[in-house]
Copies of this chain bind each other. A is one copy, B any other.
């Protein structure tokens, strides 16, 4: 890896390779970092949850917010939406296998937050 230091006197300080990494971090954050998105995912880890129950779990996030985030997560393939009853409409949201691959990151984030009293 080329360092930003001492190749010669006129070395540019910008290391282009280093610019590749942040994009990955930023892109990942766009998927997991929105408000409530990580929390929603986290709440689904123990099995499907219904819409209103999920809203309550999130401590009063508005329906609009929960709805928007769920749609984003669904579009990105992290959660699924299933109508479990038609007449008295009932819908269950579940985490996909792909969604589960992100739980490891969230687990670490949770531990980090916990350990550092954030």
Contacts and interface: CB of A to CB of B under 8 A. Distances in A.
Interface string A31-67: 1110110110011001000100100111100000000
Main SS class of interface, A: helix
Nearest to A56: B14
Interface residues of A, number: 47
29 contacts: A3-B46, A13-B53, A18-B46, A19-B59, A21-B110, A22-B39, A22-B42, A22-B43, A23-B59, A24-B109, A24-B110, A24-B113, A24-B114, A25-B109, A25-B113, A26-B36, A27-B113, A29-B33, A29-B35, A29-B38, A32-B33, A32-B109, A33-B38, A98-B116, A104-B108, A104-B112, A105-B108, A105-B112, A108-B108
